[in-house]
Amino acid sequence: MSQTPQPLHKIAILANPLIDDALVLADDVAAFLNAEGGEATAGSLYDADLRQAISSRQFDALIALGGDGTMLRAGHLCAPAGVPLLGINVGHFGFLVEVKRENWRESLPNLLSGDFRYEERMMILARCSRQGHVDASFDVINDVVVARGQHVRPIEVEADLEGARIARYNADGLIAATATGSTAYALAAGGPILPPELRNILLMPVAPHLSVDRAVVLAEGASICITVRTEHEAVVSVDGQDSLAMVSGDCVQVTANEQSLHMIRFQDPGYFYRNLTAYMEHNPLFSIKTNGQSN
C-alpha cells in the first residue's frame, strides 16, 4: 500500500446489527459521506453481497460500526483484500477503534481529502496439525490461544522455536499474540503492551503453575510450534472465535502472516498511549492496583 494516502471515495459502512441503533447510524454516515462528495454504501456486517463486494475490492475502504469484536470481524474481511479499515465506536470497548460516536462528522471528511495515515498491523498465520497433517489454517489479528477445556485442570504446553525447545508450561493455556493482541487476552494474563506497529510475536502463559511465568517476545521471522500434552480436553481458539478440540500431541504452528491489516488513523502515533492511559484510568480494577484503594 502506498505510504502517501490518496483520497478515498467509494466507501462501505458495515454495522454490527446486534448493537442498538448501529444500522441507523450506518445510514446516517453513508448519507453524510454522499453529501460530501463520496460514494458510500451502508449495510449489516453480515450482508453477503456487501461482503463479497469488499472481498473483490470494489470499495476503497471499510468503516465498521461497533466495538473491538466488530473490528476483528471486519479486519478478517478487509485484510485478504487489502482494503483499509476504519472504526467508529458504538460498542463498549475500543482499543482498535479510531473515531468516537460523538465526533464522526468532524473526522470523516478527512477520508475524502486524503488527510489521514495508514497503520500497518502484523498478523499471524496459525496452522493446526494432528499427526503431522495440517487440519486447519487461520489468519490471526489478535491471538491464537491453546488452553484447557471444560476440566478445571492445567495442561502441559511445549513451545519449540525452529525445532528447539524454548519453554514447557504447566498452565491453563498459552497465548501467541501479535502487537495488536498484546492489549487483549495477553494483557489480561499479565503480558506486556507492545506498540501497535511492532512486528513481533508474543508468547504469554495463562495461570502457569510451577513453570515459566514470563512473557517471551519473538522476532517476526520466528516459527513456533505449540504442542499440547494432556490426558483431558484441550482447545485452540483464534481471535476469540469458537474453539476447536485438541488431543495430546496436536500442534499449532505459528508464523508471521504474509498479509497485514491496514488501519486508517487520523491521530498522530502517540494516540495509542493516550488512549491506553485513558482506558486504564477508567478501569476500576486498574485503579485499585495502582492506588491501593478500593471504591
Task: Give the burial class of 233: count Cβ atoms within 10 A of its Cβ; 0-12 exposed, 13-18 middle, 19 or more buried.
Answer: middle
Adjacent-strand bridge partners of 100: 89
Choice among 28, 60, 68, 242 that is catalytic: 68
The alpha-carbon radius of gyration of the chain (Å, integer) is 20
| Phi, psi (rounded to 5 degrees) for 16 | -75, 115
Cβ atoms of 43 and 50 closer than 8 Å: yes
Cβ atoms of 46 and 94 closer than 8 Å: no
* Distance, CA of 77 to CA of 261 (rounded, Å): 10
Residue of 77, 32, 76, 44 lying closest to 59 (CA atoms): 77
Q: Does the active-site annotation cover 21?
A: no
- Grid coordinates representing 125? 498465520
Residue of 104, 87, 114, 133 lying closest to 5 (CA atoms): 114
SS3 at position 134? strand
Torsion sign over Cα 49, 50, 56, 58: positive
Q: Widest CA span of the chain, in angstroms?
A: 62
Residues belonging to the active site: 68
